[in-house]
Structure 1
Amino acid sequence: MIETFRQYGPALLQGFAMTVFCWAMGAVLSMALGLVIALIQRHAPRPVLWLLRAYIEVIRGTPFLVQLFVLYYGGPMIGLLLDPIPAGILGLTLYGSPYYAEIFRSAFNAVPKGQIEAARAIGMTEPTIVRRILLPVGLVSALPALVNFSIILTKETVILSIITVPELMYQVGRMGAETFRYVETNLALALFFWLLVEAISRTGRRLEAHITQHLTPRT
């Protein structure tokens, strides 16, 4: 078994690096798109709100596997021809953005209206209100949910293997098919994902402690 892991170790590490890359790009881009959607929802006219709500409900109501198949295999029918890695990152972005948008929307709604009204009363513009009130205050309540969904998004990366993205699941599947050691290969998969999730969780806890330190009463 040790010889097997020595032989496939470099491939597993490459697959893990690809998993981290796809997840990081997908998480950052989907979070940014989700933030934009949440901000647009605050002041958009009703037709735009209907379109955004339809987008959110369709994406949240369908499996990521189906979305990825439609994007990668159906995209060429409308001229959207993507390589596996860009298609995987785009798929993660489209899949994650509605969830992040709802997290930001609920966080913005939790900001006391009195603070926003006071800001408008002293002449703050909407971009300034977003930058100095909505984002700082909303981030405090949104951070746990943001970290939690980011962890969920890591596990969705295994689906990218179906479009031949050489991420961890793809490499583990190839290793299992060639060695027939399916128990060991899946244990390796679980270990790598546990390490990634633990790193994200610890980073999230440190960020939460940092941005909420001013809320902790001093003795």
Structure 2
Amino acid sequence: TTEDGEKVIVWHVPAKPGHAVILYFPGNGDYLAGRVSRFRNMTSDGTGLVALSYRGYAGSSGEPSEQGLLRDAAAAYAFTSARYAAENIVAWGFSLGTGVAVALAAEQPIGKLILEAPYTSAADIAAALFRFAPVRFLMRDSFRSDQRVARVTAPLLIMHGSDDSVIAIAFGERLFALAHEPKQFVRFPGGGHDNLDDYGAIETARRFINAVKG
């Protein structure tokens, strides 16, 4: 339950001993049931998963807004941090969810941050995202990852497809330039917006998650 009384759904796959847990923030119009194969691959090595279904999405009450989604993220983080040490929490945002993940990582302690197909602000990608529903809540000053990412202290991995036609890779590169070290940018030649698993995204993320902090 969020601080404003909405009930949001999370899917929880417990981490095996010694493994991290991924706190996953999906894209716009993304339903968890459609990501079962991806989640299975994410957790196949014992990594845990807490996947959030935003307000207004399947199983969750309320209407989406930036503030609402950030409250959903806070509730999901509270659920996760009650069960796992902060240094073992890996926030992973995809597409719209990268803005949620950056906002959370700027305010809460986490172990690592993964951004898949990120943007600098909602205004930059509004034209592309307005093809999907529900997007009426995207305002000009919403999800300013460009203003928040400098407050992130956790190690960062950005993954982006070179041929992403929804959120151009230039936005990911721009956000990367604004972020502090330690950081990595992985470009997938030929990769699009929603197919990076076919190019090795899960394996790339796993190496990053399992790398010892130096």
Provide TM-score, normalisation by structure 1: 0.28
With the length of structure 2 as denominator, give the TM-score of the two structures: 0.29
Larger Rg: 1
Question: More helix per residue: 1 or 2?
Answer: 1
Higher relative strand content? 2
